[in-house]
Chains A and B, each alone.
Chain A
Amino acid sequence: MMLGALASILSFFPVIGLATLGGFLSQKSGVWNIALEGVMAFGAFSGVLAYHYLGGSVWVSLLFGFLIGLVVGALLSLLCVRLGLDQIVTGYGLWFITEGMAGYLYYTVLPSVRVVETIGPDILSLDPVFYLTLLSYGVLYMVMSRTRHGLAVRAVGESPRAADTAGIDVGRVRGVCTALGSGFVSLAGSYLSLVILQGFTYRMVAGYGWTAFALVLFGRWKTGSVFLGSLFFTLLIGLQTRLQVIGIGFIPPEFVVVLPHIGVILALALAGAIGKRAGMPAALGVHYERE
């Protein structure tokens, strides 16, 4: 019983974990992607779109959602990395467009889609995407700390000029990280619509994208901390859902719903108190151009 409850809570982990991982990758290379919320919504829509038109396989639909995320991320890096537009303003616009488009297209183009297929064999009553998320973090950790690619990403995020001097193609590294990161964010959205909610509704992402964004800051741009942070937040969400169902006396359910978000704010405040910009890539948000 307990194990079952835990498994059901953890099945939500890929939503938070993958989105956070995507935001992390982009920020680590020095690019703010503040459109996580919108990219997730678009991923959620793309997932059900693919489910409807591409033969009803959840795996294929997840892959499609990931690829769409790559395209959206490539657009963002074209605007911010190549053309040097302001990352905050561009990201803000991208959030509106992707979230709005997802809702608009779903209600005008698609008939209501209900996802009925399950994803495949469960392992310990958790679906494979959970393990895929764990694996992704493992690979991310190894790449960032043990390979020259990881070294290049960190160098570009900290000091693009020094990286350029050392012969690293700053634009390419940032572009790849932003696109790939956006792919993971979109995948998180697809997982949310295809596996967790088994359908699409407007604004279904409900702030999880913003949560993921905050979790990168909370994790102080360290792979391990970011992983633990998203796991911790997943547990908070699970707890909140349980409490809502059980009910705890005089506390109104609306208050229970906001609990995880209060948790994030507290965590952020705590992280901020420890060290304002500690761990933050020094060139985050700073466009680089050769003189």
Chain B
Amino acid sequence: MKDTLEEPGTGRGPVILEMRRITKRFPGVVANDRVSFDLRRGEVHCIVGENGAGKTTLVNVLYGLYQMDEGEILVEGQKVSIGSPREAMSLDIGMIHQFFTLVPGLTVLENIILGHEPTQGPFLDLERAKEEILRLQERFDLRVDLDAEPSQLATGQKQKVEILKALYRGAKILIMDEPTSVLAPGEKEELIRNLRLMTEGGDLSIIFITHKLPEAVAASDRITVLRKGRVVDTVEAGQVDQAALAQMMVGRDVLFEAARSETVKGERVLEVRDLEALDDAGRRALRGASLYVSEGEILGVAGVSGNGQKELVEVIMGLRKAERGEVIIKGLETTGSSPKEIRGLGVGYIPEDRLGRGILAHATVCENLVLGAHSKNPFAKGLFTDPVRIREHAERLVREYGIETPSVDKPAGKLSGGNILKLILAREFSRDPDLLIADKPTSGLDVGSEESVRRRLMEERSRGKAILLVSEDLDELMTMSDRIAVMYEEEIMGVVGAGEATREEIGEMIAGAKRSGP
């Protein structure tokens, strides 16, 4: 089949991969809406977009992890169907996932050859494999000790092993899904250098997914911007600046104006000073973070997830250790206090992980609604709880918050996502907290539930509560918050008044392209 598309004259290689009008639907959303994308030989082609823009869906279709609903894929001009990763591999397409698939007990060498072992008679020919891999390492500057085990390697080295694995299998098209999100700063620059080296000879072409614009501009030849499942544009990396990209990425949708009444801003309920914390892997995830929230105010925290928001919230709630800095709630320093002590000060918490942290999935709705207060007056007397009162309390909250459940005796984990959230809201609000920490309270909800959650939060705000609202939805933050703090790579890039900054400016800050004074 002949390639009929016109190639813009850039002097680079011919098109080796073409995805035409790919449409992929999931229940309730169109993740990819007639997305067209092409990759030239020896090119690094970046796909940028916000979370949920459809970047990962598109490459998962290419790698056979998802089946597309419409569209076609051409590899070197031949129409192909890719039903599984194995079929993708046989077409010389490799993929580096965000989470690595290395086998812990095997050496690096064994990991690389696994599934493609060279043999001599009945035995493995490790010498031959080693020679071949050393050649690849030499050529692409991917130095890793082949006799080490994965547990001894740093993240960047593990990623090199994954890349070597793909190259060893003869990949000609390499998909990298947010490869820099797991890397330390020094490792990032090294990776970006390596991408150039790997594509130089034209044997390898790379699809590089990121939402960080400086990287996209530095690493790629062309950039395709996706927004809400559609291609906004494909541009030459040399001919575009970051501000223009940010604008394409976040769009210029007309915002609906929320009825945000003026409230009297009172005292600072929460204050965080110069906070530093590590993530689960022991890497620094938060640096020099300072912010405050006053009575009658919503402080929005914007940013793509994984930029320190989770750690910030967990330190405030006493669920994670602060390495430096202090948290002050209602004038009391609470750094190092237990979650119970912190909640005792009148802090409500809507965790992002609602099923794991927000409720006890196997306990009943009734039990979940009283959780935390179950041992206190009026729900308990002496050694025993008062089941009648607890039940009355639960039934009242179910009515008041419109939690849809056949009875309060149903296990809470059986409720729908929206109703689980209502349950958590009901429990937290019924304690009448002065400070509410809401970590992505609307994520995963349908439009109706989203609206009711937002209305509830706004009501609490007008009653003089202080609310810290973490969200990835910029529209939501701009309509609800009084001020917005933007996080990018472990830091707060700046705090801006919601009325002062444009969507584009905040978009640039989210993507690390701009900083603003507080």
B105-148 CB mask vs A (1 if < 8 Å, else 0) is 11000110111110100111000000000000000000000000
**Minimum distance in angstroms from B115 CB to a CB of chain A:** 3
Give the complex CA separation of A162 and B97 in angstroms. Answer: 12
Closest chain A residue to B100, Cβ basis: A162
Judge whether A167 and B106 touch: CB under 8 Å. no
Residue contact A147 to B122, C-beta cutoff 8 Å: yes
B101 beta carbon closer than 8 Å to chain A: yes
Chain A residues near B104 (CB, 8 Å)? Answer: 158-159, 282
Question: Taking the nearest CB of chain A, how far is it from the CB of B279, in angstroms?
Answer: 22
Closest to A146 in B: B123
Stretch at the interface among A92-100, A148-156, A247-255: A148-156
Cα-based distance from A152 to B124 in the complex (angstroms) = 12
Neighbouring A residues of B117 by C-beta, 8 Å = 148, 151
> At the interface, yes or no: A273 with Cβ under 8 Å from chain B?
no
A147-B122, A148-B119, A151-B124 known; A166 vs B114 contact (CB < 8 Å): yes
**The residue from A147, A155, A165 contacting B124, defined by CB atoms under 8 A apart:** A147
Q: Encode B255-278 as 1/0 by CB contact (under 8 A) with A.
A: 000000000000000000000000
Given contacts A151-B124, A155-B114, contact A167 B86 (CB under 8 A): yes
Measured CA separation A163–B116 after assembly (Å): 11
Q: Does A69 contact B (CB under 8 A)?
A: no
Within 8 Å CB of A147, what residues of B?
119, 122-124
Interface centre among B86, B89, B104, B119 (most CB of A within 10 A): B104
B30 at the interface (CB under 8 A from A): no
Measured between beta carbons, the chain A residues less than 8 angstroms from B111 are 162
Contact B101 A162 (CB under 8 A): yes
B103 CB–A CB distance under 8 Å = yes
Q: How far is the CA of A161 from the CA of B113 in the complex (A)?
A: 16
Tell me the B70-115 residues at the A interface (CB within 8 Å): 85-86, 89, 101-106, 110-111, 113-115
- Asked if A168 is at the interface (CB within 8 A of a chain B CB), the reply is yes
Tell me if A38 counts as interface (CB < 8 A to partner B).
Answer: no
Render A213-253 as a binary contact track against B, CB cut-off 8 A, 1 for contact. 00000000000000000000000000000000000000000
Q: Contact flags (1/0) for A98-112 with B, using CB distance below 8 Å?
A: 000000000000000
Interface residues of A in 128-181 (CB under 8 A from B): 142, 146-148, 151-152, 154-155, 157-159, 161-163, 165-168
Check A154 against B106 for contact (C-beta < 8 Å): yes
- Residue pair A151, B101 in contact (C-beta under 8 Å): no
Contacting pair B122 A154 (CB below 8 A): no
Contact yes or no, A157 B105, CB < 8 A: yes
A73 contacts the other chain (Cβ, under 8 Å)?
no
Encode A34-53 as 1/0 by CB contact (under 8 A) with B. 00000000000000000000
- Please report the number of residue pairs spanning A and B whose Cβ atoms sit closer than 8 angstroms: 58
Residue of A whose beta carbon sits closest to that of B165: A166
Q: How far is the CB of A158 from chain B (nearest CB, A)?
A: 4
Report how far A112 CA is from B113 CA in the complex, Å.
55
Contacts of A154 in B (CB 8 A): 103, 105-106, 110
Given A146-B123, A147-B123, A151-B124, answer yes or no on A168-B105 (Cβ-Cβ < 8 Å).
Answer: no
Interface residues of A in 272-291 (CB under 8 A from B): 279, 281-282
Measured CA separation A152–B113 after assembly (Å): 11
Task: Provide the residues of chain B in CB contact with A158, threshold 8 Å.
Answer: 103-106
Secondary structure dominating the interface of B: loop
Identify A165's interface contact among B85, B110, B113, B119, CB under 8 A: B85
* A159, B115: Cα distance in complex, Å: 13
Q: How far, in whole Å, are A109 and B114 apart by their CA atoms in the complex?
A: 50
A155:B123 contact, CB within 8 angstroms: no
What CA separation (Å) do A282 and B101 show in the bound complex? 13
Is there an interface contact between A159 and B101, defined as CB atoms closer than 8 Å?
A: yes
Interface centre among B102, B103, B115, B123 (most CB of A within 10 A): B103
Report Cα–Cα, A163/B89, bound state, in Å: 15
A155 x B122 contact (CB < 8 A): no
Which residues does chain B contribute within 8 Å of A168, judged by CB atoms? 114-115
**In whole angstroms, what is the CA distance A100 to B103 when docked?**
40
Contact B124 A146, beta carbon cutoff 8 Å: yes
The distance from the CB of A145 to the nearest CB of chain B, in whole angstroms, is: 9
Give B278-306 interface residues, CB cut-off 8 Å to A: none
B413-440 residues at the A interface, CB under 8 angstroms: none
B26-65: CB near A (< 8 Å → 1, else 0) gives 0000000000000000000000000000000000000000
Name which of B85, B105, B113, B124 has the most chain A CB atoms within 10 A of its CB.
Answer: B105
A132 to B285: give the CA distance in the assembly, Å. Answer: 57
The interface residues of chain B lying within 8 Å CB-to-CB of A148 are: 117, 119, 124
Contact of B102 (CB < 8 Å), options: A157, A159, A279: A159
Cα(A279)–Cα(B119), bound, Å: 26
CA distance A162 to B106 in the complex (A): 11
How many whole Å from A129's CB to the nearest CB in chain B?
Answer: 25
Chain B residues with CB below 8 A from A281, complex form? 105
Q: In whole angstroms, what is the CA distance A206 to B115 when docked?
A: 42
**Cα A163 to Cα B114 with chains together (Å):** 8
CB–CB B85/A155 < 8 A: no
A151 shortest CB reach to chain B, Å? 6
Residues in A with CB closer than 8 Å to B115 are: 163, 166-168
Shortest CB-to-CB span from A90 to chain B, Å, is 24
Whose C-beta in chain B lies nearest to the C-beta of A156? B103
A105 nearest CB across to chain B (Å): 40
Q: With a CB–CB cut-off of 8 A, which chain B residues contact A165?
A: 85, 101
Residues 224 to 244 of chain B near chain A (Cβ within 8 Å): none
Residue of B nearest to A280 (CB): B105
Give complex CA distance A22, B267 in Å. Answer: 70
Report the minimal beta-carbon distance from A167 to chain B, rounded to whole angstroms: 4
In the complex, how many angstroms separate the beta carbon of B223 from the nearest chain A beta carbon?
A: 29
Cβ contacts under 8 Å, A155 to chain B: 103, 106, 110, 114
A7 to chain B, nearest CB (A): 34
B133 nearest CB across to chain A (Å): 15
In the bound complex, residues from chain A placing their C-beta under 8 Å from that of B85 are 165
CB neighbours (8 Å) of A146 from chain B are: 123-124
Q: Which of A158, A161, A163, A166 has the most CB atoms of chain B within a 10 A radius of its CB?
A: A166
Known: A151-B110, A167-B86. A162 touches B102 (CB 8 A): yes
Chain A nearest CB, measured from B175 CB (Å):
14
- Look across to chain A and name the residue whose beta carbon is closest to the beta carbon of B101: A162
B99's nearest neighbour on chain A, judged by CB, is A161
A165 to B106, CA, bound (A): 15
Alpha-carbon distance A104/B119, docked complex (angstroms):
49
Chain A residues positioned under 8 Å from B102 (CB to CB) = 159, 162
Known: A148-B124, A165-B85. A159 touches B119 (CB 8 A): no
Residues on B close to A: CB < 8 A? 85-86, 89, 101-106, 110-111, 113-117, 119, 122-124
24 residue pairs from A and B, CB less than 8 Å apart:
A146-B123, A147-B119, A147-B123, A148-B117, A148-B124, A151-B124, A152-B114, A154-B103, A154-B105, A154-B106, A154-B110, A155-B114, A158-B103, A158-B105, A159-B103, A159-B104, A162-B111, A162-B114, A165-B85, A165-B101, A166-B114, A167-B116, A168-B114, A279-B105
Closest 4 CB pairs of A and B: A166-B115, A162-B101, A148-B117, A167-B115
Further 6 A-B residue pairs, CB within 8 A, beyond A151-B114, A166-B114? A146-B124, A151-B117, A154-B110, A158-B104, A162-B114, A167-B116
